[in-house]
Amino acid sequence: MRAVGTVLLLVVLATTVATGARRWRVPAPSLLVLAGLVVALIPGAPALHIAPETIGLIVLPPLLYASAEELSLRDLRAVWRPVTLLAFGLVLVSAAAVGLLAAVLTPLPPAMAFVLGAVLASTDPVAVTALGRRLALPGRVQVLVQAESLFNDATSLVLFRVAVTVAVATGAVGWQDAGGQFLLLAGGGCAIGAAVAGGVALIRRRTADPVLETVTALVTPYAAYVLAESAHTSGVTAVVVAGVLLGRSGHRLSDARIRLQLHAVHAVVVFLLESVVFSIIGLELPNLVRELPSGSGLWPLQALALAAVLIGLRVVWMLPLSAAVKPTGGRPSWKVASVVAWAGTRGVMPLAAALSIPLATEAGGRLEGRPLILVLTTAVVVFTLVVQGLSLAPLVQRSGLALEPEHTAREEAGARASLARAGLAHLDQLADLESVPDHVLDRIRRGLEARLRHADDPDDSPGADALAAYRDIRREVITVQNGELHRLYDDHCISDTTLRRLQRDLDLEEAGLGGP
């Protein structure tokens, strides 16, 4: 009963804070972490202890899946080289730098210092995606930050497992063993994720029931995660691969009515899980600090130094790579490097990894340094979510990288005009066949011509007609417009944001026609 009450309290707190964040135009994750800290500092507040398997199994799969679905494969192809260098090279360098610094500044043994380095080495896809939704970054820059956070988890997970093995065992672990673990984790996770995506695609192509489609979509990330973990591979990688593969084919696997329902269900699930998990991060820190052993009073300065090293390394590492992702190309840019570095926040993933550190060694003794690692990890996560999260939007605005609202409006208006012209061209072909009543064609043509004249007005749309002929032809025209929309996207004429917005408009219009 107490657990149920705690969950309900977290949901109420998260909903209230997230509502305020939208009204005050601040990132919800940052405000949720602050709210959790405030609640935990209230005298008499109950201590909150979250089992690592709770976060790993219940919270992470749907959030990772939602982040992967939003990834633009088109833009990913353009930045795969810097993403690879970040997901592998920067993770290794960050783990080594944090490990060395922790060994010097903290009382952690060298093996546990390397565990801390592996925990903090990778950025967090849940936090990065949640913070990035409000930013009008160019496509390549947004995809670089998001893809790096999704694909660097396999590298950091291998480092973490190797580091924990060294910390709890008396024997050494060779680099060949580490390489074999990486191939098993990353390669096996990719294979299982692709297999799950293929199986789900076959099911969804043969299903037209909204309830079954919704259940299938909700189960998919959990199926990928559990199957991969059962095979001793990376569940995180499996979920990401399944989400990326299914995210780009969603418009072919279901109709407009089901897509709208799935979008609404996913929005509710992601909102609740993100809100609760960021609140938990804030609630955890004071309780972890109270459990620290004596002599650990310098942890705030140590956490600040670790966070500074992580951010500084990202800036230095990103500077030579920024030319590859700069919207206009050319020389390396401090603006791009600074924005990408500041967007590399830590979040749920490092916290889940730190919580999974064993309590004892293989010999049965107490594993020294675990409480301090939990505190330092949570403190760095809180720092990045609050400090970087609250200042990221002003930094993007000052850098000049943010897309102007006028740019997005012009792009959307041009795309709407192209869709209207494609629909009119298809109506001309139907008129030549003389198989459709002229008054039906005229009605649809008038609506499309009005859209062409007012392409920037989303409310200027023809009403639904009860006539079966009108509905059939309008659906056929929408199908043509869907094809034109994805052609514009594939030809790099519109951004991923415009694609999603206009796809939703077409889905709403098709669903509004009613009928089967």
Q: Are residues 132 and 199 in the same domain?
A: yes
Query: Whole-angstrom Cα distance, residue 231 to residue 441?
Result: 57
Q: Are residues 184 and 223 in the same domain?
A: yes
Q: How many domains does the chain have?
A: 2
Q: Are residues 473 and 392 in the same domain?
A: no
CA-CA-CA-CA torsion sign (335, 339, 340, 346): positive
Q: Are residues 349 and 475 in the same domain?
A: no
Q: Are residues 54 and 131 in the same domain?
A: yes
pLDDT digits (tens, 9 = 90+) for 43-82: 877 677 777 677 778 888 998 898 888 787 777 887 888 8
Q: What's the confidence (pLDDT) of residue 230? A: 92
Q: Are residues 332 and 423 in the same domain?
A: no
pLDDT digits (tens, 9 = 90+) for 260-282: 888 888 888 888 887 788 888 88
Residues in the chain: 516
Token pair 């979920």 is found at: 239
The C-alpha angle 146, 150, 156, rounded to 5 degrees, equals 130
Query: Does the pLDDT value for residue 468 go beyond 70?
Result: no
Residue 88 DSSP code: I
Q: Domain end: 403, 436, 451, which one?
A: 403
- H/E element, 37: helix 28-41
Cβ burial, residue 240 (10 Å; 0-12/13-18/19+)? buried
pLDDT digits (tens, 9 = 90+) for 114-126: 999 999 998 888 7
Q: Domain end: 379, 403, 427, which one?
A: 403
Q: Are residues 380 and 413 in the same domain?
A: no
Which CATH number is 161's domain given?
1.20.1530.20
Query: Does the pLDDT value for residue 322 go beyond 80?
Result: no
CA-to-CA dists, residue 142 to 146, 219, 326, angstroms? 6, 28, 11
Residue 464 tokens read as 């639904």
Query: Whole-angstrom Cα distance, residue 148 to residue 160?
Result: 18
Q: Are residues 123 and 173 in the same domain?
A: yes
Residue 274 DSSP code: H
Q: Domain end: 403, 420, 453, which one?
A: 403
Answer whether 0.85 is exceeded by the pTM. no
Token pair 């990065």 is found at: 128
Q: Are residues 349 and 444 in the same domain?
A: no
> By the 8 A CB rule, do 456 and 413 touch?
yes
Q: Are residues 214 and 310 in the same domain?
A: yes
Taking alpha carbons only, the member of 347, 327, 363 closest to residue 284 is: 347
Query: Does the pLDDT value for residue 329 go beyond 70?
Result: no
- Please name the residues in contact with 438: beta carbons below 8 A apart, sequence gap of 6 or more: 431
Q: Are residues 197 and 280 in the same domain?
A: yes
Range of the domain at 38: 2-403
Residue 505 tokens read as 């408009």
Q: Are residues 225 and 269 in the same domain?
A: yes
